[in-house]
Structure 1
Amino acid sequence: MFFKRKPSSVPALGEALAGRDKEMPVASEHFVNGAALKGPYPEASETIYFGMGCFWGAERLFWQLPGVLVTAVGYQGGQTPNPDYDEVCSGQTGHTEIVKVVYDPAKISLETLLKTFWEEHDPTQGMRQGNDVGTQYRSAIYTTTDAQASVVAASKQAYEAALGQRGLGPITTEIRPAPDFYYAETYHQQYLAKNPRGYCGLAGTGVSCPVGVGVAAE
């Protein structure tokens, strides 16, 4: 599917592509660790969603962290049900590329996950990450509990202050309770494990995420 020009803003309700009722077929197991991609997950685990631009490199960051049980890539934050990759890239679904992170809070803290999130991309760029331009590359955090939301808010405040001291900011990351998550095609799942020389456009700001004020080192 080819779209000549991407919109620079998320389409309003009723303006997005129609999508479909059928879910995207996806592999049953994580390519790297063999865990069940769609669950069931351990009872004590928690889930949070991160958008950092292209989801290939972002997913690799998280599956490498001890205490992360499962990662998966998909589409979130828009109106189109069960979109495919071409539709998301058109900018006409409203979705951003997302990494689903299922973690054991007894083994890795949310603060540690957030430190990785903030430092490994530029959360000040709006509808882009570097040369990757479009609504599907916007920065996002989608939470699943009130406790997560509180920690995320504190970390944003702390990191925004640190960015400001370096002449950067404000943070444009979309932060809200998690909307529907749609798994991306199997081809995209754990892409850089299957294609070690594949594209990764991640680039942070070089500003360290402060320890304290809700952001603690592991």
Structure 2
Amino acid sequence: MLTQKIQMPTAATALKGRSEPLKTDDNHFVLGKPLKGPYPDGFQTAVFGMGCFWGVERVFWQTPGVWVTAAGYAGGLTPNPTYEETCTGLTGHAEVVKVVFDPAVVTYDDLLKTFWENHDPTQGMRQGNDIGTTYRSAVYYLDEGQKAAAEASRDAYQAALSKAGKGVITTEIVPAPEFYYAEDYHQGYLAKNPAGYCGIGGTGVTCPIGVGVEA
């Protein structure tokens, strides 16, 4: 089972999934905004994987300029996977958070800085004690501008990590695949369960981009 969890499945080994989406919340538990839209004109979307999405979602819903967040699954093969299915490692999905934001208040670079500094992107198919493909580090970009920004920020952060004696970034930076909303109980989880588990943690190294810091 551990081997399955740290290796991506193939089309032949992936779970079948289902055609219907899972039941999820209509509105964000904290922010009160619709999870699936409509979103305000001019707002943008980002998708990040940083390990367990419970803590990741809280990091972003607390970020000024973020309009709504949603926990979900992306990057795998199984359509509309359940949480239990993703945990087997046989769907290929990462736990991710969709972030809808106002670029007049918070830039994509700012969000990338938050992304890099709030998890350890050097750990491969794990995040701390959470082991498996679902916990891999990922930036799923929605356009070429996001791709360029993500790659530039990765290079800048790698230089900072190397200087600090840290490892090599393993984050996948690829076009955004289909996003599947996680079950309702995962949405706003740490607000619904204040004593709940949060497994994310940064490296302690500052990312030299965004928030007024020049690369």
**What TM-score bracket applies, with the shorter chain setting the length?**
over 0.9
- Any idea what SS the aligned residue of 1:199 has? coil
Match of 1:188 in 2: 186
Consecutive unaligned residues of structure 1, counting only runs of 5 or more, are none
Q: 1:118 aligns with which of 116, 122, 126?
A: 116
Q: Secondary structure at the match of 2:116?
A: helix
* CA-atom RMSD in angstroms: 1.2
Q: Hey, what does 1:35 align to over in structure 2?
A: 33
1:128-178 per-position Cα deviation (integer Å, ceiling 9, x unaligned): 001000110000010111111111111000001111111212100011110
* Aligned counterpart, 2:22: 24
Q: How many residues align?
A: 212
Aligned to 2:6: 8
Structure 2 counterpart SS, 1:7:
helix
Q: 2:151 aligns with which of 146, 150, 153?
A: 153
Q: Which residue among 166, 170, 183 is the counterpart of 2:164? A: 166
Q: Secondary structure at the match of 2:55?
A: helix
1:176 counterpart residue number: 174
Length-normalised TM-score, structure 2: 0.96
Aligned partners of 2:3 and 2:155: how far apart in 1? 35
Which whole-Å CA distance do the structure 1 matches of 2:21 and 2:79 have between them? 9
Task: Write the distance in 2 (CA, Å) between the matches of 1:116 and 1:4.
Answer: 30
How far off its partner does 1:32 sit? 0.4
TM-score by length of 1: 0.94
Query: How many angstroms does 1:27 deviate by?
Result: 1.2
- Residue matched to 1:58: 56
Instruction: Tell me if 1:68 matches 2:66.
Output: yes
Q: Percent identity?
A: 59
Aligned partner letter, 1:179: P
Summarize deviations over 1:109-143 as a string: whole Å, max 9, x none. Answer: 11111111101100000000010001100000101
CA distance in 1, matches of 2:2, 2:94: 19
Counterpart position of 2:46: 48
Give the Cα–Cα distance (whole angstroms) in 1 for the partners of residues 210 and 10 of structure 2.
38
Write the mapping of 1:81-92 to structure 2, written as runs, cut at 5 A.
Answer: 81-92=79-90
Cα distance in 1 for residues equivalent to 2:167 and 2:103: 30
Gaps of 5+ in 2: none
Q: Distance in 1 between matches of 2:3 and 2:141?
A: 31
Residue 202 of structure 1 deviates from its aligned partner by 1.1
Partner secondary structure for residue 156 of structure 1: helix
Q: Deviations over 1:18-46 (max 9, x none)?
A: 00001111111010011011001011011
1:217 Cα deviation from its structure 2 partner: 1.2
Work out which of the residue numbers 195, 207, 210 in structure 2 matches 1:209: 207
Match of 2:98 in 1: 100
